[in-house]
């Protein structure tokens, strides 16, 4: 009984770690996308004749 309970706790911990990693990578990708967007947009704004 204690073994299955421990396995369940380890599984829940593993799921939490995976979910937090997914959330962190999602935020990092969004930040990188925003930075990429700014670097793409800002030169065209500062050079409107291009």
Q: Give domain status of residue 7, yes or no.
A: no
* Domain interval for residue 30: 12-39
Q: Give domain status of residue 47, yes or no.
A: no
Q: Give domain status of residue 29, yes or no.
A: yes
Count how many domains the chain has.
1
pLDDT in tens, 21-48: 999 999 888 888 777 777 777 666 665 5
Residue burial 10-49, b: 16+ Cβ < 10 Å; e: rest: eeeeeeeeeeeeeeeeeeeeeeeeeeeeeeeeeeeeeeee
Q: Give domain status of residue 3, yes or no.
A: no
pTM greater than 0.85 (yes/no) = no
Q: Give domain status of residue 45, yes or no.
A: no
C-alpha angle 32-38-43 in degrees, rounded to nearest 5? 140
Q: Give domain status of residue 44, yes or no.
A: no
Q: Give domain status of residue 5, yes or no.
A: no
Position with higher pLDDT, 16 vs 1: 16
């Amino acid at each position: 009984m204690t073994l299955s309970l421990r396995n369940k706790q380890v599984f829940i911990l593993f799921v939490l770690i995976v979910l937090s990693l997914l959330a962190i990578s999602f935020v990092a990708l969004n930040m990188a996308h925003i930075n990429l967007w700014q670097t793409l947009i800002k030169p065209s704004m500062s050079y409107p004749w291009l």
